[in-house]
Structure 1
Amino acid sequence: MRSLPLLPFVSGLCRLCRPVRRASLPGWPGLASLAPVLVVMVMLAMPGAVNAAPKADLWPDWQVYDPQSTIMVDHAEWQGVLDRFVDQPEAGVTTFDYQRALSERANGIYAVAHYIDQMVDISVSRLNRAEQMAYWINLYNALTVKVVLDHYPVASIRDIDISPGLFASGPWGKKLVRIEGRTLSLDDIEHRILRPIWQDARIHYAVNCASIGCPALARDAYDAKRIESQLDQAARGFINHARAIHSDGDGGFVISSLYDWYRDDFGAGDAQFVAHLLTFAGPELTAQLDHIGGFDVSDDEYDWALNAPQS
């Protein structure tokens, strides 16, 4: 759910340069002074890196499922956490009270950790497809909350730089859990399992990145029996909020960067993208989309501030 931000990218280069600068010979420019040049060189060598998002890259092992399975995964503990700490200040927006979840440890951070431990012990390959989808979405969201709680207070999830790699930012690449003998990161769950197996754009509205600009963290745990209606609800909630799309006042639209990062998931062209929006748009947005001569995007935005209650 994120692009590679430029600031940590530059910062990574500068951190690399500091030891060399101290060891520089008299008369030689410190390597740190060449950081801007190095940034340009690396960016030219990796076109699109700054705004890149992970591709949907299927790990075939996770395709295994049992269509006849009647096993039902119990997400009650996660639901208890959501009931206690998630609030909805306005339509399409939710917040998570990380501070209170840390102070009420038994019902907060300990409950999240215990739920994750329960999920890790489940044989996912024995589930049917609907149970698997609900399982992965709920686990992703619980892991995201746990990561933030483990590092709180932070202003943004991007400040949690635990991913491996010199230019990595945020927690998404960090291996967090071991399931059926394989270690997985948040990126693995979203881009190696959820997106490629289901190929459903609504997944982007279900997985939460603990940020204001992100689609809302659902107040109800995803449930295999009603997951289709839950995914529709998540899509409607986000699409009809201004952070997803709004008029720029000059005949164009400002869209969420989510649609830029994962453009192909929402349709190959403008017509398909608008059709996706209209599927879930309410009367106000529908009227705006129906009364334009062409779909003109003037800018994209994303607020990475933590989705905690505002003081």
Structure 2
Amino acid sequence: MIDFEPWDRLLRQYIDQQGRVDYIAWKKEQPQAIADWLSSQKNLAFKSNSNNLEELALWINLYNAFTISTILERYPIESIRPRILGIPNWLAFLWFFQRRAYYMFGESYSLAKIENSILREKLQEPRIHFAIVCASVGCPLLRSGAYFPEQVIQQLDEDTRRFMNNPEKVRYDMESKTLYCNKILKWYRQDFLKVAPSIPEYIRSYLKTDYPLNASTRISYLDYDWSLNQRISS
């Protein structure tokens, strides 16, 4: 199994409690640290029949590590969604997720393959949507530490609760009786409906405040912020 301790130390050093990454310091101080860690682990034998908790921790960590390593290579950038003359370059945006640029266990992976084929289809864990991060402000807050098999279910539960109780991601307006949601809850709606009868009821199960949410609650989806999840060093 992969040694996650080097990755854990990097996250604790460069991620703040708001999930923002200090790319400036990371690139200046340890630009090769992720690549070196991944390189030292990539030829390990991976048993696809290992237990689900090991696979969950493994692939969430790898997804986030691959993402951050790509940002560090390209930094400084403002967003993973580049613009040409003010117009979003959607081809470059899709290529960020679709390119099989990450070599591990004798195979090349893309971020899309890890997310869709492994985390969603194979492992069937909807809470991964509040753990894997695409380096954007609209994403879940990046955890300032690695995922470990013996803790991953608790960690995913914490991530989901943090997301649902963050008014920048989810909020309920009592006056208009409208539930405002991050678009992750729209894009991956079918994943959440496998474990809950409706999106409002899925959200309600994680909220600290018991709002009157049910299947008929009006939903309005918030604009997604694609700007980089960076922390500017003081």
TM-score by length of 1: 0.66
Post-superposition offset of 1:104: 0.5
Alignment of 1:1-311 (within 5 A): 72-88=1-17, 93-105=18-30, 109-125=31-47, 127-159=50-82, 167-170=91-94, 171-248=96-173, 250-267=176-193, 271-283=197-209, 286=210, 289-290=211-212, 294-310=216-232
Post-superposition offset of 1:200: 1.3
* Alignment CA distance shift 1:293-1:230 (3 Å): closer
Give the Cα separation in 1 of the matches to 2:24 and 2:232. 12
Deviates more, 1:247-256 or 1:264-273: 264-273
Give the Cα separation in 2 of the matches to 1:296 and 1:183. 42
SS at match of 2:227: coil
SS at match of 1:224: coil
Post-superposition offset of 1:168: 5.0
SS at match of 1:247: strand
Task: Give the structure with higher Rg (CA).
Answer: 1
* Alignment CA distance shift 1:195-1:279 (3 Å): same
Give the Cα separation in 2 of the matches to 1:290 and 1:310. 39
Sequence identity (%): 31
Give the Cα separation in 2 of the matches to 1:160 and 1:195. 30
Give the Cα separation in 2 of the matches to 1:137 and 1:100. 24
Give the Cα separation in 2 of the matches to 1:256 and 1:205. 11
Is this contact kept in 1: 2:201–2:215, CA < 8 A? no
Q: Provide Cα deviations, 1:102-158, integer angstroms capped at 9, x if missing partner.
A: 1102xxx21111122133222222643221211111011000000100111111122
| Structure having greater relative contact order (Cα 8 Å, sep ≥ 6) | 2
* Alignment CA distance shift 1:269-1:113 (3 Å): closer
Is this contact kept in 2: 1:124–1:132, CA < 8 A? no
Q: Which amino acid aligns with 1:99?
A: I
TM-score by length of 2: 0.87
* Alignment CA distance shift 1:296-1:84 (3 Å): same
Post-superposition offset of 1:187: 0.6
Give the Cα separation in 2 of the matches to 1:132 and 1:215. 20
Post-superposition offset of 1:182: 2.2
- Structure 1: give runs of 5+ residues left out of the alignment: 1-71
Q: Partner residue of 2:87?
A: none
Is this contact kept in 1: 2:200–2:214, CA < 8 A? no
SS at match of 2:55: helix
* Alignment CA distance shift 1:201-1:210 (3 Å): same
Post-superposition offset of 1:294: 3.6
- Structure 2: give runs of 5+ residues left out of the alignment: 85-89
Is this contact kept in 2: 1:120–1:178, CA < 8 A? yes
